Amino acid sequence: AEEVTQKPESFDFASYMADTAKSVQAALDKAVPLKYPESLNEGMRYSLLAGGKRVRPALCLAACQLVGGDLEQAMPTACAMEMIHTMSLIHDDLPAMDNDDFRRGRPTNHKVYGENMAILSGDALLAYSFEHICRDTKGVPAERLVRVVVELARASGADGLVGGQVVDIQSEDKEVGLDVLKYIHEHKTAALLEAAVVCGAIVGGADDATVEKLRRYALNIGLAFQVIDDILDITQSTEVLGKTAAKDLASNKTTYPKLLGIEKSKQVAEQLIAEAIAQLDGFEPSRAAPLVALAKYIGYRQN
């Protein structure tokens, strides 16, 4: 592992994220080459290499670094996080789901390649994420990789993304309570962020107590991520479209601001971020700096 020498207060988060995004982009480009059948692989690459903040790979690599692991060994797992995330975005945008035309600043996958290819590109990315971890990770004991696969499969399936999406769909056009809203966010959003952190720590050789501490860190930032998303949905659409349009836009789904108001929602997000950062107490500050900065970034992001 690379020696980290910066003091936490001098940690340059913008450069850290830019460098991470660059190395993840290069690794993804290599992992999913343009091969036969080109129409499928082109579709996979179209969404996978389209950009995005790369928050999940960054969390995975930062957790590996925190526990003193080798970043290169965690790269296939970090890439797998982005493959699964991208798959979920492709499927989420389909006409049968959210029916969105734009994602990451470009037309959605099904708009370019058709619905059938978009479904299949997502399926291929999901399967390949597991293949990539197990085949391309070098020098990590198989027992750790099995644990990683269990975490990631759980985060993707009925107890994770799929379960969250199902409850989200069933909650459309009706008022739901805080408990259901929390279930949706914990499964649709927090589960994969949690897996990213936990899997990075497992690859890096963390003991069980450390893994569980980092799981709490991740669950808190995962929930905060979504609370902030709900707040931004309202404040940004208000800025862009005016108040009435913003209200219409938010009216078919329950959100934190709708249940608690914007101010209270901001407080909830702040508490969640503080709780996340508290889990990092006791780690060497320079090693914990990326995870501390990522938590603050998620809690105070403007887009």
| Contact residues for ligand GRG, defined by CB under 6 A | 52-53, 55, 85, 88-89, 91-92, 97, 104, 126, 156, 161-162, 165, 188-189
Q: How far is the CB of 31 from ligand GRG (least distance, A)?
A: 17
CB 203 within 8 A of CB 81: no
CB-nearer residue toward ligand GRG: 48 or 206: 48
Q: How far is the CB of 258 from ligand GRG (least distance, A)?
A: 18
CB-nearer residue toward ligand GRG: 202 or 221: 221
Of 30, 50, 56, 43, nearest in space to 132 by CA = 30
Which amino acid, residue 275? Answer: E
CB-nearer residue toward ligand GRG: 108 or 165: 165
Q: How far is the CB of 188 from ligand GRG (least distance, A)?
A: 4
CA distances in angstroms from 237 to 12, 118, 256, listed in the order given = 30, 28, 16
Of 2, 46, 44, 42, nearest in space to 23 by CA = 2
Which amino acid, residue 49? Answer: L
Q: How far is the CB of 272 from ligand GRG (least distance, A)?
A: 15
CB-nearer residue toward ligand GRG: 53 or 283: 53
Q: How far is the CB of 52 from ligand GRG (least distance, A)?
A: 3
Of 68, 17, 25, 66, nearest in space to 48 by CA = 25
CB-nearer residue toward ligand GRG: 142 or 240: 240
Residue with CB nearest ligand GRG? 52
How far, in Å, CA of 235 to CA of 302, rounded? 10
CB-nearer residue toward ligand GRG: 1 or 162: 162
Q: Tell me, what DSSP letter sits at residue 202?
A: H
Q: How far is the CB of 32 from ligand GRG (least distance, A)?
A: 16
Burial class (CB in 10 A: 0-12, 13-18, 19+), 259: middle
Q: How far is the CB of 160 from ligand GRG (least distance, A)?
A: 8
CB-nearer residue toward ligand GRG: 58 or 201: 58
How far, in Å, CA of 217 to CA of 226, rounded? 15
Of 220, 246, 222, 223, nearest in space to 233 by CA = 246
Token pair listed for 207:
């003991």
Q: How far is the CB of 126 from ligand GRG (least distance, A)?
A: 6
CB-nearer residue toward ligand GRG: 217 or 225: 225
Q: Give 118's contacts (C-beta < 8 A, 6+ positions apart).
A: 43, 90, 91, 93, 94, 108, 109, 110
